[in-house]
């Protein structure tokens, strides 16, 4: 670059002149840099908007599908020291009475006291625990060697220990590692050898296990199977549910509070009595029901007379006047739920049969779980009492231990009047639907379990959604605000406007989301919720000012919200997300639609917002390219200016030198004259 001397020759500030000329040429660059700052501001705003929309999407996802909590339950135990309990959303609201009659315990047996130097004879025997059997071929030896053989063969199911007693004697103790009756240690094989050390005392006898049934009216329901007859009659329970009487033509289903597993030899036991219902003579003649049918018209001599078609139906009669006949007068039945399909079997009982009945239901329902039993009477009065479902304890041909330290016993519970047993104390998930029970101790009185709806989580999630939506609205209003201006002042106030005033993408986003909030959605619930205002969420309370409503922010009436979720959780759940075509996938609902629409704006990969950010970045790149080109031009321009000013300075300097020479020459000539 040429070097100027700063106007030494010309007396001008050439450097200052050049700088000002260059600065004037740089004005377009400053305008472009302003555009870059504008683009960066828009990118930052879009990133804030993206974060807000992702929060809204996340809050929306929490409102439907497996994350939804409208049907979550809370359960309280009146005696946590006896029974602790947790719940899932499958639990049903209500009260249950659970009495812990006995806890499950592990089977512990021992040998007799045996001297350390006693030689135990050889023998083969087996240890069976649950479904596992272990064969032991003991070749003889002392108590320690027998323990080692048992540990080696059956150590995964039984633990052993040798305890010193007195006078140099010891006892070998075997403890089952499985709680309950199924963990009972069953010994078979060489009886003489096992008897000689006290492990066996005799042959084991078979026991009968079962559950007594008490009929509570709250579990009685009308028969829901096919029955070709109009029912009438009544039902009455006595003796704390031990006896139930069914009168007239009536079929009833009794829902078992606890499902009962059926084995091959499971039987349904009950006592019964039947008697014909006595009716007054006049009642026998008169119809028990009169029905008025459609009007009948008769024309007599041109005069139309109206009459009534009256149907008289007596009990046991069909409408056509024929008497209804039944295959049996009374009986029972069993219902099982197999993969959501109702399976039932009816067992008729003859009135003159033995009063004590044992029906083998194992042949029809082995391997299944009974959910309900059926009691029916087609005429007269049928009484059922002392109902029980039981099966034998399948222990096989094993020996009775002589020294039992602790019996192998199941936990014994009485749940809403029905006695059941379980083989463990912890994590009992199959006793009451939706509950997990943990037994801590036996109880003298029933423990009350109260199941209520858990509302806190649902309300918090809806609040989080409303908060996320309102945060988005605040950001949208900031991005699209227009500063009020007086006539002629718009240009001055333009910089105060939002960065996306008039942007169609941002406007379309707001229209889409507000439309989702205000739309109506299909709902197949018994009490459908179709618009968000029905759950107490709206854009403003009644009589709110327009300034608040037009912003579009949501407000919650928590009292209404709490009441609706408590009374109608299914309707609320289906409002936010529901399956409309039966494929077990949500495809409708407000929250589902919100997530689906937001995915186009902030979803993984290329989306609408990321595309706008890319366009802004492209604008910045284009502007930087323009600046680079302009800077090159200015650099060349500055070089040109400095070259010209340098040439000018040289010319002025030469002219000054010539002038000085001429002055010198002219001055010298004057002196000579």
438-458 pLDDT, tens digit each: 999 999 899 999 999 889 999
Q: For residue 224, what are its two tokens?
A: 């829901």
Say if 421 falls within a structural domain. Answer: yes
Say if 133 falls within a structural domain. Answer: yes
Please give the residue that has the higher pLDDT: either 431 or 638: 431
Of 406, 430, 445, the residue that ends a domain is 406
Q: Tell me, yes or no, whether 446 and 547 share the same domain.
A: no
Q: Tell me, yes or no, whether 98 and 110 share the same domain.
A: no
C-beta contacts of 518-524 below 8 A and 24+ residues apart: 519/590, 519/593, 521/575, 521/578, 521/588, 521/589, 521/590, 521/593, 522/578, 522/580, 522/588, 523/571, 523/574, 523/575, 523/578, 524/574, 524/578, 524/580
226-270 pLDDT, tens digit each: 887 888 889 999 888 889 999 999 999 999 877 888 888 899 999
Q: Which of 365, 372, 380 is nearest to 272 (CA)?
A: 380
Pairing of strands 267-275, 356-360: antiparallel
How large is the average pLDDT for residues 114-130?
Answer: 90
Say if 646 falls within a structural domain. Answer: no
What is the pLDDT, as a whole number, of residue 309? Answer: 46
Q: For residue 19, what are its two tokens?
A: 């700088």
Q: Which of 370, 448, 444, 437 is nearest to 104 (CA)?
A: 437
d(CA 199, CA 399): 9
d(CA 124, CA 5): 120
Q: Tell me, yes or no, whether 326 and 351 share the same domain.
A: yes
Of 340, 359, 392, the residue that ends a domain is 392
Lowest mean per-residue pLDDT among 242-251, 276-285, 369-378, 424-433: 276-285
Q: For residue 204, what are its two tokens?
A: 């084991």
**Residue 194 phi/psi, 5° resolution?**
-70, -35
Please say if the pLDDT value at position 3 is more than 80.
no
> Under the phi-then-psi rule, with left for phi > 0, alpha for psi from -120 to 50, and beta for the rest, what region is 168?
left
CB-based contacts of 258: which residues, under 8 Å, 6+ apart? 211, 415, 418, 420, 430, 431, 432
How large is the average pLDDT for residues 502-520?
Answer: 94
**If 0-12 CB within 10 Å is exposed, 13-18 middle and 19+ buried, where does residue 579 land?**
middle
Say if 10 falls within a structural domain. Answer: no
Q: For residue 200, what are its two tokens?
A: 């066996």
Question: Could you tell me the CATH number of the domain that includes residue 262?
Answer: 2.60.120
Q: For residue 56, what are its two tokens?
A: 């809204």
**Residue 230 phi/psi, 5° resolution?**
-80, 130
d(CA 103, CA 173): 22
What is the pLDDT, as a whole number, of residue 278? Answer: 67
d(CA 525, CA 575): 9
Q: Tell me, yes or no, whether 137 and 269 share the same domain.
A: no
Rg (CA), the chain: 47
Of 418, 453, 488, the residue that ends a domain is 453
What is the pLDDT, as a whole number, of residue 202? Answer: 84
Q: Which residues form the domain of 200? A: 106-205+395-406
Lowest mean per-residue pLDDT among 64-78, 296-310, 322-336: 296-310
Say if 652 falls within a structural domain. Answer: no
Predicted confidence band of residue 634 (pLDDT cuts 50, 70, 90): confident
Please give the residue that has the higher pLDDT: either 487 or 252: 252
Q: Tell me, yes or no, whether 514 and 574 share the same domain.
A: yes
Q: Tell me, yes or no, whether 421 and 566 share the same domain.
A: no
35-90 pLDDT, tens digit each: 899 899 999 999 999 999 999 999 999 999 988 989 899 999 999 999 999 998 88
Q: Tell me, yes or no, whether 461 and 350 share the same domain.
A: no
Under a CB-based contact definition with an 8 Å cutoff, are residues 382 and 272 in contact?
yes
Please say if the pLDDT value at position 324 is more than 60.
no
Q: Tell me, yes or no, whether 45 and 179 share the same domain.
A: no
Q: How many residues does the structure list for the chain?
A: 673
Residue 167 sits at the vertex; the CA angle it makes with 161 and 172, to the nearest 5 degrees, is 15
Please say if the pLDDT value at position 367 is more than 90.
no
Q: Which of 479, 466, 474 is nearest to 533 (CA)?
A: 466
What is the pLDDT, as a whole number, of residue 96? Answer: 94
Please name the residue ranges forming H helices in 68-180.
Answer: 143-154
Predicted confidence band of residue 673 (pLDDT cuts 50, 70, 90): very low
CB-based contacts of 355: which residues, under 8 Å, 6+ apart? 271, 272, 273
- Please name the residue that has the structure tokens 């070709």: 228
Lowest mean per-residue pLDDT among 76-90, 314-328, 491-505: 314-328
Please say if the pLDDT value at position 300 is more than 50.
no
Please say if the pLDDT value at position 281 is more than 80.
no
Please say if the pLDDT value at position 546 is more than 70.
no
Which secondary-structure segment (H or E) carries 208? Answer: strand 208-212
Which secondary-structure segment (H or E) carries 50? Answer: helix 27-61
Say if 553 falls within a structural domain. Answer: yes
CB-based contacts of 572: which residues, under 8 Å, 6+ apart? 70, 458, 529, 535, 564, 565
Under a CB-based contact definition with an 8 Å cutoff, are residues 589 and 574 in contact?
yes
d(CA 467, CA 469): 5
Q: Which of 266, 243, 230, 480 is nearest to 363 (CA)?
A: 266
Q: Which of 230, 211, 476, 247 is nearest to 369 (CA)?
A: 211
Q: Tell me, yes or no, whether 474 and 434 share the same domain.
A: no
This prediction has a pTM of: 0.60
Please say if the pLDDT value at position 287 is more than 50.
no
Q: Tell me, yes or no, whether 353 and 221 share the same domain.
A: yes
Tally the domains of the chain.
4
Please say if the pLDDT value at position 284 is more than 50.
no
Under a CB-based contact definition with an 8 Å cutoff, are residues 57 and 469 in contact?
no
- Please name the residue that has the structure tokens 């450097």: 15
Say if 642 falls within a structural domain. Answer: no
Say if 5 falls within a structural domain. Answer: no
Q: For residue 387, what are its two tokens?
A: 């109902």
How large is the average pLDDT for residues 207-232?
Answer: 81
Lowest mean per-residue pLDDT among 38-42, 272-276, 301-305, 569-573: 301-305
Q: Tell me, yes or no, whether 427 and 347 share the same domain.
A: no
Q: Which of 482, 472, 465 is nearest to 509 (CA)?
A: 472
Q: Tell me, yes or no, whether 111 and 121 share the same domain.
A: yes
175-191 pLDDT, tens digit each: 999 999 889 999 999 98
Report which DSSP code applies to 15.
H
Number of other residues whose CB lies within 10 A of the CB of residue 435? 23
Predicted confidence band of residue 290 (pLDDT cuts 50, 70, 90): very low
């Amino acid at each position: 670059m040429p070097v100027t001397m700063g106007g030494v020759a010309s007396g001008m500030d050439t450097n200052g002149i050049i700088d000002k000329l260059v600065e004037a040429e740089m004005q377009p660059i400053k305008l472009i840099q302003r555009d870059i700052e504008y683009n960066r501001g828009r990118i930052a705003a879009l990133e804030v908007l993206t974060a807000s929309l992702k929060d809204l999407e996340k809050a929306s996802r929490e409102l439907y599908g497996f994350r939804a909590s409208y049907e979550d339950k809370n359960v309280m135990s009146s005696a946590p020291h006896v029974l602790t309990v947790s719940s899932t959303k499958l639990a049903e609201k209500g009260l249950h009475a659970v009495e812990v009659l006995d806890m499950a315990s592990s089977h512990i047996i021992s040998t007799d006291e045996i001297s350390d130097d006693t030689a135990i004879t050889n023998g083969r025997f087996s240890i069976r625990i649950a479904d596992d059997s272990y064969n032991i071929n003991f070749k003889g030896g002392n108590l320690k060697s027998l323990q080692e053989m048992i540990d080696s063969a059956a150590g995964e199911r039984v633990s052993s220990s040798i305890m010193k007693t007195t006078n140099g004697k010891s006892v070998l103790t075997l403890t089952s590692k499985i709680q309950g009756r199924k963990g009972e240690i069953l010994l078979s094989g060489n009886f003489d050898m096992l008897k000689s050390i006290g492990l066996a005392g005799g042959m084991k006898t078979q026991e009968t296990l079962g559950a007594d049934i008490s009929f509570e009216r709250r579990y009685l329901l009308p028969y829901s199977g096919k029955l070709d007859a109009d029912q009438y009659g009544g039902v009455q329970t006595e003796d704390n549910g031990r006896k139930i009487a069914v009168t007239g033509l009536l079929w009833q289903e009794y829902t078992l509070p606890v499902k009962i597993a059926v084995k091959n030899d499971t039987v349904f036991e009950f006592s019964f009595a039947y008697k014909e219902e006595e009716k007054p003579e006049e009642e026998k003649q008169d119809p028990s029901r009169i029905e008025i049918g459609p009007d009948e018209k008769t024309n007599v001599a041109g005069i139309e007379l109206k009459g009534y078609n009256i149907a008289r139906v007596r009990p046991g009669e069909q409408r056509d006047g024929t008497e209804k006949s039944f295959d049996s007068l009374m009986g029972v039945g069993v219902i099982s739920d197999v993969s959501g399909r109702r399976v039932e079997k009816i067992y008729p009982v003859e009135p003159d049969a033995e009063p004590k009945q044992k029906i083998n239901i194992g042949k029809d329902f082995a391997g299944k779980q009974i959910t309900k039993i059926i009691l029916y009477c087609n005429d007269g009065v049928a009484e059922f009492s002392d109902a029980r479902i039981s099966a034998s304890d399948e222990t096989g041909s094993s020996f009775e231990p002589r020294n039992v330290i602790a019996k192998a016993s199941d936990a014994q519970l009485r749940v809403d009047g029905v006695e059941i047993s379980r083989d463990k104390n912890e994590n009992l998930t199959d006793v009451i639907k939706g509950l997990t029970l943990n037994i801590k101790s036996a109880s003298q009185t029933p423990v009350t379990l109260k199941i209520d709806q858990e509302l806190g989580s649902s309300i918090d999630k809806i609040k989080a959604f409303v908060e996320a939506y309102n945060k988005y609205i605040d950001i949208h209003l900031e991005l699209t605000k227009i500063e009020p201006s007086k006539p002629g002042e718009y240009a001055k106030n333009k910089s105060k406007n939002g960065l996306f005033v008039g942007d169609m993408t941002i406007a379309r986003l707001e229209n889409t989301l507000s439309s989702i909030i205000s739309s109506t959605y299909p709902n197949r619930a018994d009490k459908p919720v179709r618009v968000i205002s029905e759950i107490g969420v709206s854009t403003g309370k009644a009589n709110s000012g327009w300034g608040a409503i037009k912003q579009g922010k949501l407000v919650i009436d928590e009292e209404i919200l709490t009441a609706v979720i408590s009374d109608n959780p299914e309707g609320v759940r289906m409002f936010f997300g529901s399956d409309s075509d039966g494929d077990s996938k949500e495809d409708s609902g407000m929250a589902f639609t919100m997530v689906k629409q937001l995915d186009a704006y902030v979803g993984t990969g290329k989306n609408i917002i990321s595309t706008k950010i890319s366009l802004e970045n492209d604008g910045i790149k284009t502007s930087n390219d323009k600046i680079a080109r302009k800077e090159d031009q200015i650099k060349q321009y500055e070089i040109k200016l400095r070259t010209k000013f340098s040439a000018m300075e040289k010319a002025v300097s030469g002219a000054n030198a010539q002038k000085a020479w001429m002055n010198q020459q002219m001055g010298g000539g004057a002196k000579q004259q």
